[in-house]
């Protein structure tokens, strides 16, 4: 029998009282009021309502060691990234590795592998594969339905996946950037219950009115908190918090607890905030996560004050996983999984042959997944279109990592590199290698570093070369979070030495091949317009 005392914030009865929690065998037996308690608060544990663990560049067991420091007890995790690389075997890898640690990972069945037919992925999950996954007890929902055109156009395979989840009583997550009005209603009416892609207040309002729940996203690249947080006042029962993508350096500094403290500082009601951070995701996804009620799993956190969300202790199933400033999760044996065909690329592979000076240019926006599009005149020399670093117009290429193919080459602005190149095999959604740089020589050097490590992020300029290897699926490391975060920070600093002023250049580059987010992106098959879902001729 274990006991803990403090000021208990009951998220269901919505009141704070001096109390004692009595628990054994991982369950809360009783909660009693007492007169005097230590000056600390006991809150329900935090739940990330939508995250890709792979984007932390850490395997689940290493992710857990960082997340519990910040009061995270569970995640609603879409293994979409590893599934695009390794298929069902990749999903199985995430489930089995996650089982080795106390943090509660609730995985979904990836609904869109590949995300589109306009890119080369490492695997395909058809209707039968998705249905088979959904039938597993370890799979708790149908993960984000990125193929919103398929939903709107009644694509039979898309609708079959949704029906498979509904038949099993499992929720269906959405992914519908920009959908409003009647299109949002049609999307929701297919049975899709959540969305984390709203960029504007009006877009989120339309989805709320269509019956969807909204997850306010504040990740390393996409940050929609400022635009959406006021909706919590009017729709407190329909909002959740999520990170979607959290890079390792960010995860070291905080997780959902940072969103909570930021929201409380704005004057929002504590219990509305706890409903978004804990209650709603637990109830909506039917998670076996405690909410400080008798009979619940003994999952809770201890903080000095809710406003600061300085986590002192994190308990999962009645055991302290973070206490006294230390993580109480031991070393975990892990294996590796990958799908990578390394080969050498040459500077000449990145030449863009054309007689057209007017070229479509991807316009990147710091902190946003969406991109702009413009046409700019570039120098054409001997039938080759040249980059223009002086005007911050650089070459971007996507190199197929699964089979040897010529790179797809185009142009991008706002990365700011003056001399050199950065590259990443974390390239949503198919995780081919994305590279941006000033010269073809730098592009080839940056890509070859990743080829040599069968996955990673790299930076080259002058005689300097650096790489952080990601040997698990080409998108994750099995090193500790501290080691990976240090490598990521080092490479980010190198990119800034090369002239980039972006907050998170390696996070942003990873989304430049995300075709389902408008407007202009680059696939390994060519330049792609996400507004009309068609390739653009260069």
Both tokens of 220, joined, read 């390393």
Write the burial class of residue 1 (CB in 10 Å: 0-12 exposed, 13-18 middle, 19+ buried): exposed
Decide: 410 and 437 in contact? Cβ < 8 Å: no
* Residue 218 exposure: Cα atoms within 13 Å on the Cβ side: 20
Q: Compute the distance between CA of residue 290 and CA of residue 288 in angstroms, rounded to an integer.
A: 7
Answer yes or no: are the C-beta atoms of 415 and 394 closer than 8 Å: yes
The DSSP bridge pattern shows strands 41-43 and 15-24 to be unpaired
Nearest Cα neighbor of 172 from 219, 216, 211 is 211
Distances (CA, A) of 139 to 95, 97, 142, 147: 9, 14, 8, 20
Per-residue confidence (pLDDT) for residue 333, from 0 to 100: 87
Beta-ladder partners of 15: 10
Compute the half-sphere exposure of residue 92: CA atoms within 13 Å on the CB side of its CA. Answer: 10
* SS3 per-residue string spanning 272-313: HHHHHHHHHHHHHHCCCCCCCCCCCECCEEEECCCCCCCEEE
Q: Residue 438: enclosing H or E segment and its boundaries?
A: none
Asked if 258 and 67 touch (Cβ cutoff 8 Å), the reply is no
User: Sign of torsion, CA 84 86 89 94?
Assistant: negative
> How far apart are alpha carbons 248 and 65 in whole angstroms?
12
Q: Kind of pairing, strands 239-242 and 326-327?
A: unpaired
Q: What DSSP assignment string belongs to 106-170?
A: EEEE-S-SSS-TTS--S----HHHHHHHHTSTTEEEEEEE--HHHHHTT-HHHHHHHHHHHHTT-
CB 494 within 8 A of CB 461: yes
Q: Which tokens belong to 268? A: 């929002």
Nearest to 431 by CA among 3, 114, 53, 19: 114
Report residue 412 as tokens: 């991008």
**What's the predicted TM-score (pTM) here?**
0.94
How far is the C-alpha of 410 from the C-alpha of 412, rounded, in Å? 7
Q: What values do phi and psi take at 54, rounded to 5?
A: -60, -30
The predicted pLDDT at position 82 comes to: 98
Strands 46-51 and 384-385 come out as unpaired
**Distance from C-alpha of 512 to C-alpha of 528, rounded to nearest angstrom:** 10
Q: What angle do CA 152, 155, 161 make, to 5 degrees?
A: 105
Fold topology of 45-286: TIM Barrel (3.20.20)
Which strands, in side-by-side order, build the sheet including 15-24? 27-33, 15-24, 2-10, 41-43, 300-303, 311-316, 319-323, 326-327
Q: Per DSSP, which regions of 438-525 are E strands?
A: 456-461, 464-469, 520-523
Do 138 and 174 form a contact (C-beta atoms < 8 A)?
no
The pLDDT, as a whole number, for residue 357 is 85
Scan for tokens 């080829």, then name that residue: 451
Q: Where are the domains of the chain?
A: 45-286, 356-535
What is the spatial distance between Cα 465 and Cα 83, in angstroms, rounded to a whole number? 30
Q: Which two tokens stand for residue 103?
A: 């943090």
Give the pLDDT of residue 161. 98
Element (H, E) at 503: none
- The pLDDT of residue 504 is 86
> What is the reported pLDDT for 265?
97
Confidence (pLDDT) at 112: 94
Query: Mind listing the pLDDT tens digit of every residue in the chain (538 residues)?
Result: 999 999 999 999 999 999 999 999 999 999 999 999 999 999 999 999 999 999 999 999 999 999 999 999 999 999 999 999 999 999 999 999 999 999 999 999 999 999 889 999 999 999 999 999 999 999 999 999 999 989 999 999 999 999 999 999 999 999 999 999 999 999 999 999 999 999 899 999 999 999 999 999 998 878 899 999 999 999 999 999 999 999 899 999 999 999 999 999 999 999 999 999 999 999 999 999 999 999 999 999 999 999 999 999 999 999 999 999 999 999 888 899 999 999 999 999 999 999 888 999 999 998 788 899 999 999 999 999 999 999 999 999 999 999 999 999 999 999 999 999 999 999 999 999 999 999 999 999 999 999 999 999 999 999 999 999 999 999 999 999 999 999 999 999 999 999 999 988 998 999 999 998 889 999 999 999 988 889 998 7
3-state SS assignment for residue 28? strand
**Among the listed residues 368, 533, 344, the one whose alpha carbon sits nearest the alpha carbon of residue 449:** 344
What pLDDT is stored for residue 391 in this prediction? 97
One-letter-per-residue 3-state SS of 306-371? CCCCCEEEEEECCEEEEECCEECCCCCCCCCCCCCCCCCCCHHHHCEECCCCEEEEEECCCCCCCC
Residues 6+ apart with CB under 8 A from 480: 62, 65
């Amino acid at each position: 029998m274990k006991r803990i005392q403090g000021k208990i914030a009951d998220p269901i009865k919505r009141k704070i009282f001096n109390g004692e929690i009595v628990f054994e065998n991982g369950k809360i037996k009783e909660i009693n009021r007492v007169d005097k308690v230590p000056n600390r608060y006991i809150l329900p544990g935090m739940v990330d309502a939508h995250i890709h663990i792979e984007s932390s560049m850490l395997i689940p067991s290493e992710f857990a060691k960082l997340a519990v420091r910040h009061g995270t007890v569970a995640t609603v995790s879409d293994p979409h990234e590893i599934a695009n690389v390794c298929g069902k075997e990749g999903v199985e890898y995430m489930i089995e590795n996650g089982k080795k640690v106390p943090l509660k990972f609730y995985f979904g069945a990836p609904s869109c592998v590949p995300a589109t037919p306009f890119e080369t992925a490492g695997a395909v999950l058809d209707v039968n594969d998705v249905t088979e996954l959904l039938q597993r007890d370890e799979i708790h929902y149908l993960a984000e339905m990125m193929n919103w055109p398929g939903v709107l156009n009644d694509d039979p395979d898309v609708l079959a996946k949704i029906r498979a989840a509904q038949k099993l009583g499992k929720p269906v997550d959405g992914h519908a950037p920009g959908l409003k009005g009647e299109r949002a209603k049609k999307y929701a009416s297919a049975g899709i219950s959540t969305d984390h892609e709203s960029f504007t207040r009006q877009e989120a309002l339309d989805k709320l009115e269509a019956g969807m729940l909204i997850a306010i996203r504040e990740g390393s690249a996409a940050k929609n908190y400022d635009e959406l947080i006021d909706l919590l006042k009017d729709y407190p029962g329909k909002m959740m918090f999520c990170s979607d993508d959290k890079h390792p350096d960010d995860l070291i500094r905080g997780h959902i607890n940072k969103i909570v403290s930021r929201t409380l500082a704005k004057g929002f009601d504590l219990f509305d905030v706890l409903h978004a951070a804990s209650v709603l995701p637990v109830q909506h996804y039917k998670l076996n996560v405690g909410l400080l009620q008798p009979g619940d799993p003994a999952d809770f956190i201890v903080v000095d004050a809710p406003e600061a969300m300085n986590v002192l202790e994190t308990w999962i199933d009645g055991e302290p996983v973070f206490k006294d400033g230390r993580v109480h999760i031991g070393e975990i044996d892990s294996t590796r999984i990958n799908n990578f065909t390394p080969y050498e690329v040459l500077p000449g592979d990145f030449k863009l042959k054309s007689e057209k000076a007017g070229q479509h240019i991807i316009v990147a926006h710091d902190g946003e997944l969406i991109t702009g599009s413009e046409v700019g005149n570039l120098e054409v020399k001997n039938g080759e279109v040249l980059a223009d670093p002086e005007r911050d117009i650089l070459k971007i290429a996507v190199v197929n990592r699964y089979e040897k193919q010529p790179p797809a080459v185009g142009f991008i602005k706002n990365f700011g590199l003056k001399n050199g190149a950065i590259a990443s095999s974390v390239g949503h959604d198919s995780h081919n290698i994305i590279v941006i740089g000033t010269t073809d020589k730098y592009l080839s050097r940056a890509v070859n570093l990743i080829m040599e490590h069968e996955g990673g992020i790299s930076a080259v300029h002058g005689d300097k070369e650096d790489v952080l290897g990601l040997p698990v699926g080409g998108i994750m490391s099995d090193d500790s979070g501290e080691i990976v975060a240090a490598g990521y920070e080092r490479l980010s600093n190198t990119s800034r030495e090369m002239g980039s002023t972006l907050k998170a250049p390696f996070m942003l580059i990873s989304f430049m091949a995300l075709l389902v987010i408008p407007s202009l992106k680059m696939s390994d098959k060519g330049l792609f317009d996400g507004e009309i879902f068609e390739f653009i001729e260069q």
